[in-house]
């Protein structure tokens, strides 16, 4: 019997292996999050929207066409690239189906005003007269 000392003969050896199960679990969760969020991030169009004091949060419209015009002249309809001819056809089809459909126009701040007016003209020629301009509120 030893007094005041611990018996060191039955001490466990230190474990020299890493438990990989928690690491694999965390990595699988991160992969699942990436798979879910990647399509949401890819559908965004990079625009430098102009800022206006009267800009308000838009109410979601069930009958709305969202047209985006980038600084390089690229056109997007509902976040999908489109040519001017295809845009004209889609505007005409929409006007025939429902002439009360709103056109929400998002144009980059660097886009010349003439190009914005051309897109407005296409919508009006098709018979769509409700045109809304999307802008950001200035930071205060």
Establish if 46 belongs to a structural domain. no
pLDDT score recorded for residue 25: 95
Whether 3 is covered by a domain: the verdict is: no
Lowest-pLDDT range, 27-36, 48-57, 73-82, 83-92? 48-57
* CATH for 85: 3.30.420.270
Distance in angstroms (rounded) separating the CA atoms of residues 77 and 80: 5
By the 10 Å C-beta count (0-12 exposed, 13-18 middle, 19+ buried), 64 is classed as middle
Number of domains observed in the structure of the chain: 1
Q: Give domain status of residue 128, yes or no.
A: yes
Residue whose pair of structure tokens reads 């205060």 in the numeric block: 140
Q: For residue 101, give its domain range.
A: 64-133
Look up the pTM and report it.
Answer: 0.59
Q: In the beta sheet, which residues pair with residue 65?
A: 103
pLDDT in tens, 68-125: 999 888 899 988 899 999 999 999 999 999 888 899 998 888 888 889 999 999 999 9
């Amino acid at each position: 019997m030893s007094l005041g000392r611990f018996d060191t003969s039955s001490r466990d050896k230190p474990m020299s292996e890493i438990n990989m199960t928690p690491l694999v679990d965390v990595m699988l969760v991160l992969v699942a999050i990436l798979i879910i969020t990647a399509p949401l991030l890819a559908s965004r169009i990079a625009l430098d929207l102009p800022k206006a004091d009267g800009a308000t949060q838009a109410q979601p419209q069930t009958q709305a066409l969202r047209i985006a015009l980038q600084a390089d002249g690229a056109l997007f309809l509902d976040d999908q690239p489109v040519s001017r001819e295809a845009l004209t056809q889609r505007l005409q089809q929409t006007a025939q189906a429902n002439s009360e459909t709103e056109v929400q126009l998002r144009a980059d701040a660097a886009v010349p005003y003439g190009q914005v007016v051309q897109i407005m003209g296409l919508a009006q020629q098709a018979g769509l007269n409700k045109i809304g301009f999307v802008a950001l509120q200035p930071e205060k």
